[in-house]
Amino acid sequence: MQWKDITSRRQGETDRTPRTYQSEAGLLRVVVTRHIYHPPDVWVLNASPFFDGKPLNSKGADEAKAEALSLVRKTLADALAAIDG
């Protein structure tokens, strides 16, 4: 999956550190971001309808993206297994 930096920045902001990444697979949109309601070193996963603000254990951006995809894969596999019953 390809990740895109979608960090919103204020005009004149000098810190260009990416804080929000997005990747899409069909209709599924996966976002890994920093959030004001969590400590600054915590990445959060959003992938509706499966995850909404789930804190991740990884501290680095690349590790957080990999952890997010692993969680989404497991959730989708479990859902498909339940459907196939």
Number of domains in the chain: 1
pLDDT of 1 above 90: no
Q: Are 60 and 68 in contact (CB under 8 A)?
A: no
What pLDDT score does 34 carry?
95
Residue 27 lies in a domain: yes
Residue range of the domain that includes 69: 18-84
What pLDDT score does 28 carry?
92
| pLDDT confidence bin for 85, thresholds 50/70/90 | confident
- Reported as a single tens digit per residue, the pLDDT across 55-76 is 999 999 999 999 999 999 999 9
Higher pLDDT, 6 or 25: 6
Q: How far, in Å, CA of 67 to CA of 58, rounded?
A: 7
What's this model's pTM, rounded to 2 decimal places?
Answer: 0.86
Residue 12 lies in a domain: no
Residue 40 lies in a domain: yes
Residue 54 lies in a domain: yes
Residue 66 lies in a domain: yes
Residue 2 lies in a domain: no
Q: How far, in Å, CA of 75 to CA of 29, rounded?
A: 14
